[in-house]
Chains A and B, each alone.
Chain A
Amino acid sequence: MSSSNYKTIVKDGLWDNNGVFSMLLGMCPAMAMTTSATNGFGMGLATAVVMAASSLLVAVFRKLITPEVRIPVYILIVAAMVTLVDLAMNAWMHELYKVLGLFIPLIVSNCLPLARLEAFAAKQPVLPSFLDGLFMGLGFTIALTAIGAVREITGNGTLFADASLLLGPAFKAIELRVLPADMGVLMMILPPGGFLVTGLLVVVKRMLDLRAGKEIQMGGAHSVA
């Protein structure tokens, strides 16, 4: 595979085919875990690790998996990877693990990893599949961090609050206060804010795509679950 194809994989994952803003997949953690930019970032990274690892495994075993039973096999591979991430985070990133809670095991039923396995890793060689999983996951991380940042700034007036607590002391420097403490609109951190910000950010992406002279995607991949 030539280097231009790798470039397409990177660009597709990060922006053109962004899991959240273009394909509208993996919406549950994208709204539930984005009450702050730090939470969104942590959730995104956990998903990216699972996606990269399971894409790699499916690509390695793609010739051995019979088409009739491929979906259960994919789900089991993803479930195994999620269990590993779950245990590792519980051991080494316990604070973040406590915040993300339920949504770490729920990566199993996130539509995004499964959609990429079915659409890409099942048919492609190992390296491109791994990169596709990784960059789709990183695109997911960017989307979650963006939603989290907007909700945190408008709701709380802070950005990356508690990053040093959740991600490690090295992240102390990125904790910011953007607005004074009493300027926050509580609604943005509550569930309605999640729907609102996600909807508006999809519009922003469409605007940017339109300005760059690209076709805007009207639908989104509604096929999976």
Chain B
Amino acid sequence: MKDFALMMIGAALVNNVILARFLGLCSFMGVTTRIDTAAGMGLATTFVITVSSMADWAVQHYLLDAYGLGYLRTVTFILVIASAVQFTELTIKKVSPALFQMLGIYLPLITTNCAVLGVALLLVEGHMSFLGATLFGFASALGYSLVMVIFAGLRERLALAEVPRLFAGPPLGFIVASLLAMAFMGFSGISTG
């Protein structure tokens, strides 16, 4: 139990998907202009990452490893992820039409969010159990959502500030992200076993 808790803290905060592993940066820069879209994106991505972590774990163990097809990993995983995204889209549409309206075009784009594929590849390389893989995927996704919301909050404020023209927009965003990454390095003191 303690091992799982430490692993989850490690995945969410210490080795944060965005700020330490540099995954999912396109969405990090792209949809963080408002807090509510960032939170919605975080929610949808959390769902996709968790579902695809479970599916990719099963595919790796019962298909690729079982038949010695390791070289097809990239191709199979991206297909599994595309299906997981489609599944998420249908589920959200059925369960919460309001959220579906809000997320709109962002949903299909999760397929090309490298955080999803990155987490799947990381947990396969980590040789985890099924439960471990699910929790790792879920915790990584929570860390992703957390940073998305924090950064969106910062950018909402930045939009009101007057900055030199050369720095306006993405460059300043990167510099703010750099400071945020520095703050998150503080978590690296936590021993995650």
A contact residues vs B (CB 8 Å cutoff): 24-25, 27-29, 31-32, 71-72, 75-76, 79-80, 82-83, 86-87, 102, 105-106, 108-111, 114, 187, 190-196, 198-200, 202-203, 206-207, 210, 216, 218-220, 222-225
- Assembled-state Cα–Cα distance A154/B161 (Å): 30
Which of B3-11, B26-34, B54-62 lies at the binding interface?
A: B26-34
With contact pairs A192-B178, A195-B181 given, residues A109 and B82 touching in the complex (Cβ less than 8 Å): no
Pairs of residues from A and B, 3 with the lowest C-beta to C-beta distance, nearest first: A199-B174, A32-B22, A195-B178
Q: How far is the CB of B20 from chain A (nearest CB, A)?
A: 5
Q: How far is the CB of A1 from chain B (nearest CB, A)?
A: 29
Q: From A34, which residue of chain B is reached at the shortest CB distance?
A: B22
Chain B interface size band reads: 35 or more
Q: From A29, which residue of chain B is reached at the shortest CB distance?
A: B22
Which of B72-80, B95-103, B129-137, B152-160 lies at the binding interface?
A: B72-80
Known: A192-B178, A200-B171; 4 extra A-B contacts, CB below 8 A, are: A106-B117, A109-B111, A216-B166, A220-B169
B26 CB contact (under 8 Å) in A80, A83, A105, A224: A224
Taking the complex as formed, is B148 at the interface, i.e. its CB lies under 8 A from any CB of chain A?
no
| Contact indicator A192/B112 (Cβ below 8 Å) | no
Taking the complex as formed, is B121 at the interface, i.e. its CB lies under 8 A from any CB of chain A?
yes
| Contact indicator A28/B74 (Cβ below 8 Å) | no
Mask of B166-193 contacts with A, CB within 8 angstroms, 1/0: 1111111111011101100100000000
B112 CB contact (under 8 Å) in A102, A199, A207, A224: A224
B178 CB contact (under 8 Å) in A110, A114, A193, A206: A193
Query: Binding site of A, secondary structure by majority: helix, strand, loop or mixed?
Result: helix
B185 CB contact (under 8 Å) in A82, A192, A222: A192
| Contact indicator A225/B113 (Cβ below 8 Å) | yes
A27 CB contact (under 8 Å) in B19, B25, B75: B25
Q: What A residues does B172 contact at CB under 8 A?
A: 199
Q: List 23 A-B contacts (CB under 8 A).
A: A25-B26, A28-B23, A28-B24, A29-B22, A31-B25, A79-B75, A105-B74, A105-B117, A106-B118, A109-B78, A109-B112, A109-B118, A110-B114, A192-B182, A195-B181, A199-B170, A199-B173, A203-B171, A207-B166, A210-B166, A224-B109, A225-B30, A225-B113
